Amino acid sequence: MIKVGVVGGTGYTGVELLRLLVLHPEVELSVVTSRSESGRKISDLYPNLRGHLDIEFTEPDVDRLAECDLVFFATPNGIAMKSVPTLLEKGVKVIDLAADFRIKDPELWSQWYGMEHACPELLEEAVYGLPETSREQIAKARLVANPGCYPTAVQLGFLPLVKAGLVDASCLIADTKSGVSGAGRGASVGTLLCEATESMKAYKADGHRHLPEISQGLQWHSNDKVGLTFVPHLTPMIRGIHATLYANLTQDVEDLQALFEQAYKDEPFVDVMPVGSHPETRSVKGANTCRIAVHKPQNGNTVIILSVIDNLVKGAAGQAVQNMNIMMGLDEETGLRQVALLP
């Protein structure tokens, strides 16, 4: 059994991680920390865990965390970077579900996240945890930066095209729609039911923090300079990201469908759907799957990729567990063979 700790278990990413971990056959969940809820039974806050998890939230404590084999950080941005160096030193592996280790360039990171990085020396070592591109590095990593939700859906959609050099990388468009759980569990007027349901809106059209993360990831696999327009939208539902991706082909391609099927044929968590499909976010609700469909309307030179994930699973907690499985030498699907809850 792997001894696992979770730092910051009270947000939506945290509770989803707990849901997956309590059912994981190889995991012993030994510590879950929360400053605000310390001393409270976890299942009091999250009654879905009644009967599955009997421990309490505790104060974050490096010594206790150091007894774990692996620690997940499900904290706000800027928290993990303060404790990660110590934990790594003590031989604990770390997966950060926040953004602290996602961007390689500390200045770029500071620019988008509005703070100084606490341990820029670790940025190079940290492995960007998208298993579909970096499985081998993840297997050897001490520190994994779990990708953001939008970046997961957008990169998995664009990568086969960008890698193959088939599209004009300078002019990519990602129109993305997210459920409200992406905004977290903090009390705020904008995500009240009465504000967010029965309405649709774009936000941060002038620049969202996931933009540099996506650009960086695509650039790693592109020979040409990547230029991305990225507009996120708030959608009146709890879970799900729908990325609608637009790119212009720079050459004739015989079979885009085959390109995608080939790219993901060995991937347990990426499902390329049949020609003509329109994946629904509900088809991945609660599951660690990214479903993708490819369209080339009117046989023109614009390609449309539709890519859906559950932002809390493949976009956060599920991918983190997938990374843990890889890091700990387990079967990658352990504890993740869940069927989406439909309807």
Q: Which of residues 243-282 bind its own copies (CB under 8 A)?
A: 244, 246, 248, 271, 273, 276, 278-282
**Pair of tokens at residue 144:** 């994994």
Q: Specify whether the CB–CB gap between 281 and 179 falls below 8 A.
A: yes
Q: Which stretch binds its own copies (CB under 8 A): 62-70, 149-157, 229-237, 316-324?
A: 229-237
Which tokens belong to 282?
């509900």
Around Cβ 322, how many Cβ atoms within 10 Å? 30
Site for its own copies in 16-75 (CB under 8 A): 19, 22-23, 46-52
Candidates 68, 119, 149, 290; catalytic one: 149
26 vs 195 by CB, closer to its own copies: 195
**Residues of span 138-197 touching its own copies by CB under 8 A:** 171, 173, 175, 177, 179-181, 185-189, 191-197
What is the C-alpha to C-alpha distance for residues 77 and 334, in angstroms, rounded to an integer? 28
Strand order in the sheet with 2-7: 57-58, 27-33, 2-7, 70-73, 93-96, 143-145, 127-128
Piece of 68-76, 121-129, 153-161, 294-302 that binds its own copies (CB under 8 A): 294-302
The yes-or-no answer on residue 119 being catalytic is no
The C-alpha atoms of residue 242 and residue 285 are separated, in whole angstroms, by 12
Which residue number, 67 or 195, has a Cβ lying nearer to its own copies? 195
Least Cβ distance, residue 47 to its own copies (angstroms): 4
Please list the residues that pair with 128 across neighbouring strands. Answer: 145
Considering only 34, 83, 289, 325, the residue that binds its own copies (CB under 8 A) is: 289
Candidates 114, 227, 255, 258; binder of its own copies (CB under 8 A) is 227
User: Is residue 199 involved in binding its own copies (CB under 8 A)?
Assistant: yes
Residues 49 and 40: their CA atoms lie apart, in Å, by: 13
Minimum CB distance to its own copies smaller for 81 or for 270: 270
Does residue 289 contact residue 340 with C-beta atoms inside 8 Å?
A: yes
Q: What is the H or E stretch that residue 108 is in?
A: helix 106-113
239 binds its own copies (CB under 8 A): yes
Across the beta sheet with 201-202, the strand order is 201-202, 228-234, 172-178, 241-248, 302-309, 290-295, 270-272
Task: Indicate whether 79 belongs to the interface with its own copies (CB under 8 A).
Answer: no
298 is a contact residue toward its own copies (CB under 8 A): yes
Q: How many residues bind its own copies (CB under 8 A)?
A: 84
Catalytic residue annotation: 149
